[in-house]
Structures are given as C-alpha cells and as structure tokens.
Structure 1
Amino acid sequence: MNIGEFARLGGVTTRMLRHYDALGLLVPAHVDPHTARRSYDLAQLPTLHRLLALKGLGIRLDELGPLLSEGVDPAELHGMLRLREAELERQVRQQRHTLDRVKARLRLIEQEPPMPVETKHVEPITLAALSADAPDASRQQTGAVVQSLFEQVIDQMETGGADRTTPIARYQPSAEAPTVHVIAGYALAGNEIPGLHDHVLPAAEVAAVVHRGPMNTISSAYQELAQWAESTGRTPTTLTWREYYLEAAGDDQSDWIVEVQLEL
C-alpha cells in the first residue's frame, strides 16, 4: 500500500513515516527507484505499533532501534506501560500538590482580615493511611493523635520505599460522642503499602481557609470557618474537618501552610 494508506491505518502522518524511515526505524517495504514513492506492507503495522508504544513510554527515538530489532513482546510492553503509567500518575499528583500550594500562596498574598473563605468541590481521594479515635475534638487530643498517626504512616512508607505526596488528615465525629475518628495519610500511589490501609475520602463540597504558621495557632482558621458557616446558614449537623498540609516540612512550623476544610 502507498504511504498515505499505511499512515491512515497506523494513525500517524506521512511526515512521521518519512521521519521514521530517515532514522532507519521503519523502512518502507519498497521504494520505487524512479519516483521514490514509498510502499508498505500490512505486516509492518505491528512494528509501527511497537514503535509508537515505546515512544509513548518516553524512550528517545535514537534509543528505539535496538529495542525494535530485538523485538518486544506484548507482555513486556504491557509491563513497561504500567511502570510508565505509575510514573505519570506520580508526576500528576506532585504537580497537583504544587498547584494547590501556589494557589494557597496567592490567597495568602491577597487575604485581608478576616480570612477569606473559599467554597469548592474536592474530588475523592484514596489515602494510604492509619486511623484512630481521639477522646474528644479538642486540638490537644486530636493533635496528639494525628501526629502519632503520621509518624507511623511515614515509617511504613519509608520501609516500603513509597512516594509521599498530598498529606491529609480528616476528623469525623463518631457515633460514640464526644470521640472523634481521625484518619491521617498520603495519597496512595500504585499498590497497597504493607501496614497501611486504603481510606477513600469521598468527594465533597467544602469551605476552606488557608492557615500559615504553627499548628498551635490553627484554631483561628477553624473559628473563621465555623463563624462563616453559621452566618451563611450552612452549618452541618456534624462538623467534619480536613487538614490539607500544603507546606509542612521540618520542625520549624512558622512557615507551614495548611488548608483547613469544613465539609458542607
């Protein structure tokens, strides 16, 4: 078949086929010596598919020759694709977290007392996490529980060599008042992590305030959200909170940035 027909079947452009020919990656089955027109065989489609799959995995064109000549079976390609998929998902999570941090910084720059409250929709997220109950909803009790949980989660993730992005804690009143159920963990990347549980935080409409500074002053953000919810008539019957730690590295908490979210 001519180059145009082969390009249509392969879902590529004729320009790409000429480029692959010039690199010696996919040479036409026949080239007319008089017109220089390229012709391809249908049997060359599997080679084109492998070439495009390997290229999609991020392998440079100048590295593809040996892989194509040695042959890559579908099972091996599938394994390589899964690895690439996991890497891309990790990059997306990191970029999402970076974008959230930038947005939080902008809100801090723009904010004037009182703290600005933002309402938004948050998508469901699966955490590699641990959970425990705090005796009551006070910062003294819940703070101690969430710190202990994060320490255990980090130990398990470091042991498993897991990537850590998007740290979140959720505080939900339990049926046995006044105890509060606390979940703390990181966005799950790939397979389950031994010693940790998969916790799915549901999609929700939230009201959010960005807090900058040490955790012992974060109560001002909670107060602002509670007052806003009451003033707008949107106070839930039970207050379920989330803390999204945008910048929370190191022992010096003076520059920590945490978004406090109230589920509506």
Structure 2
Amino acid sequence: MNIGEFARLGGITTRMLRHYDALGLLVPAHVDPHTARRSYELAQLPTLNRLLALKGLGFHLDEIGPLLSEGVDPAELHGMLRLREAELERQVRQQRHTLDRVKARLRLIEQETQMTVETKHLEPITLAALSADAPDASRQQTGAVVQALFEQVTDAMETAGADRTTPIARYQPSSDASTVQVIAGYALAGHEVPGLHDHLLPAAEVAAVVHHGPMSTISTAYQELAQWAESTERTPTTLTWREYYLEAAGDDQSNWIVEVQLEI
C-alpha cells in the first residue's frame, strides 16, 4: 500500500512516516527507484504500533530503535505501560498539590483582612491511611489521635518507599455523636502500602477556608465555617470536617497552610 494508506491505518501523518524512515526506525517495504514513492506492507503495522506505544511511554526516538530491533512483546509493553502510568499519576498528584498550594496562597492574600469561604466540589479520593476513634470532637482529643495516626502512616510509607503528596485528615462523628472517627493518610499512589488500609473519601460539596499558622490557632477557621454555614442555612445535620495540609513540613508550624473543609 502507498504511504498515505499506511499512515491512515496507523493513525499518523505521512510526514511522521518519512521521519521514521529517515531515522531508520520504520523503513518502507519498497521505494520506487524512479519516483521515490514509498510503499508499505500490512505486516509492518505491528512495528509501527510498537514504535508509537514506546513513544507514548516517554522513550526518545534514539532509544526506540534498539528496543524495536530486540523485539518487544505485548507483555513487556504492558509492563512498561503500567510503570509509565504510575509515573504519570505521581506527576499529576504532585502538580495538583502544587496548584492547591498556589491557590491557597492567593486566597490568603485575598483574605488578609477577613477569611474568605469558598464552596467547591471534591471528587472521590482513595487514601493510604489509618483510622481510629477519638472520644469527642474537641481539638484536644482529635488532634492527639490524628498526630499519632500520621506518625504511623508516614513510617509505613517510608518503609515501603511509597510516594507521598498531600496529607489529608477527615473527622466524622458517629451516628450518636459519642465518638469521632479520625482518618489520616495520603492519596494512594497506585499499589497498596503494606500496613495501611485503602480509605475511600467520597465525593462531597464542601465549604473551605485557608488557615495560615500553627494548629493551635486553627479553631478560627472552624469558627468561620460554622458561622458561614449557619448564616447561609447550610449547616449539615452532622459536622464532618476535612483538613488538607498544603504546607506542613517541620516542627515550626508558623508557616503551615491548612485548608479546612466542612462537608455540606
């Protein structure tokens, strides 16, 4: 078949086929000595598919030639794809975390005189996490529980060499409000982490404010959200909270940035 027909079957342009020919990655089955027109055989499609798959996985063209010459079977490509998928997911999580931090900084600038409440929709997210019950919803009780949980989660993830991005905590009262379930963890990075559980945080509409400073003063953010919910008549029956720790490294909490969210 001519180069145009082969390009259509491969889903690429004729210009790219000429480029691959020039690099020696996919040489036409025949080149007319008089017109220099290229012709390809249907049997060359698997080579083109592997070339495009390897390119999509992030390999440079100078790396693809040796791989094609050695032969790459579907099982090997599938394994490479899984590794590439995990790497892209890690990059997406890191970029999302960076974007969240930038947005939080902008909101801090906007609320220099007064906290600004933002409402938004959160997609479901799975955490590699641990959970425990606190005897009540006070900061004294839940704070001690969440700190202990994060220490255990961090140790488990470091032992497993697992990737960590945004730490997230969720506080959900029991049906009779006698206890509070505390979940603490990190967005799950592909595979399960030994010693930790997969916790699915459901999709939710939330009202959120950004708190800048030590956790000892975070009650101001909670108060702002509670007052906003009451004034807008959006106070839920059960107060379920989330904390997204956007900047929370080190023992000095003076520059910590935490987004406090109320599920509404």
Task: Give TM-score, length-normalised by structure 1.
Answer: 0.99
In structure 2, how many angstroms separate the alpha carbons of the residues matched to 1:92 and 1:104?
18
In structure 2, how many angstroms separate the alpha carbons of the residues matched to 1:29 and 1:114?
71
In structure 1, how many angstroms separate the alpha carbons of the residues matched to 2:38 and 2:115?
67
Question: 1:68-87 residue pairs with structure 2 within 5 A?
Answer: 68-87=68-87
Aligned to 1:258, what secondary structure does the other structure show? strand
Quick check: 1:131 aligned with 2:131?
Answer: yes
Match of 2:152 in 1: 152
In structure 2, how many angstroms separate the alpha carbons of the residues matched to 1:252 and 1:21?
59
Quick check: 1:66 aligned with 2:70?
Answer: no
Match of 1:250 in 2: 250
In structure 2, how many angstroms separate the alpha carbons of the residues matched to 1:187 and 1:173?
22
In structure 1, how many angstroms separate the alpha carbons of the residues matched to 2:100 and 2:175?
33
Question: 1:166-181 residue pairs with structure 2 within 5 A?
Answer: 166-181=166-181
Quick check: 1:201 aligned with 2:206?
Answer: no
Structure 2, unaligned stretches of length 5 or more?
Answer: none
**What amino acid is the match of 1:104?**
A
- Of 66-75 and 171-180, deviating more is 171-180
Match of 1:259 in 2: 259
Quick check: 1:190 aligned with 2:190?
Answer: yes
**What amino acid is the match of 1:168?**
I
Match of 1:104 in 2: 104
- Give the paired residue count: 264
Quick check: 1:17 aligned with 2:9?
Answer: no
In structure 1, how many angstroms separate the alpha carbons of the residues matched to 2:114 and 2:54?
53
**What amino acid is the match of 1:233?**
E
Q: What's the CA shift for 1:179?
A: 1.3
In structure 2, how many angstroms separate the alpha carbons of the residues matched to 1:5 and 1:239?
62
Q: What's the CA shift for 1:113?
A: 3.3
Q: What's the CA shift for 1:111?
A: 1.2
Task: Give TM-score, length-normalised by structure 2.
Answer: 0.99
Q: What's the CA shift for 1:202?
A: 0.3
Aligned to 1:67, what secondary structure does the other structure show? helix
Can you list the C-alpha shifts for 1:102-135, whole angstroms capped at 9, x where unaligned? Answer: 0000001111433000000011000000000011
**What amino acid is the match of 1:226?**
A
In structure 2, how many angstroms separate the alpha carbons of the residues matched to 1:101 and 1:156?
25
In structure 1, how many angstroms separate the alpha carbons of the residues matched to 2:163 and 2:64?
29
Match of 1:220 in 2: 220
In structure 2, how many angstroms separate the alpha carbons of the residues matched to 1:114 and 1:46?
62
Match of 2:37 in 1: 37
Aligned to 1:233, what secondary structure does the other structure show? coil
**What amino acid is the match of 2:116?**
P
Match of 1:233 in 2: 233
**What amino acid is the match of 2:242?**
R
Aligned to 1:89, what secondary structure does the other structure show? helix
Q: What's the CA shift for 1:176?
A: 4.5
In structure 2, how many angstroms separate the alpha carbons of the residues matched to 1:164 and 1:209?
23
Aligned to 2:262, what secondary structure does the other structure show? strand
Q: What's the CA shift for 1:165?
A: 1.0
Aligned to 1:210, what secondary structure does the other structure show? strand
- Provide runs of 4+ in structure 1 moved above 3 Å: none
Structure 1, unaligned stretches of length 5 or more?
Answer: none
Share of identical aligned residues, percent?
A: 90
Aligned to 1:222, what secondary structure does the other structure show? helix
Can you list the C-alpha shifts for 1:22-52, whole angstroms capped at 9, x where unaligned? Answer: 0000000000001000000000000000000
In structure 2, how many angstroms separate the alpha carbons of the residues matched to 1:249 and 1:28?
57
In structure 2, how many angstroms separate the alpha carbons of the residues matched to 1:6 and 1:93?
38
Q: What's the CA shift for 1:201?
A: 0.3
Match of 2:93 in 1: 93
Aligned to 1:228, what secondary structure does the other structure show? helix
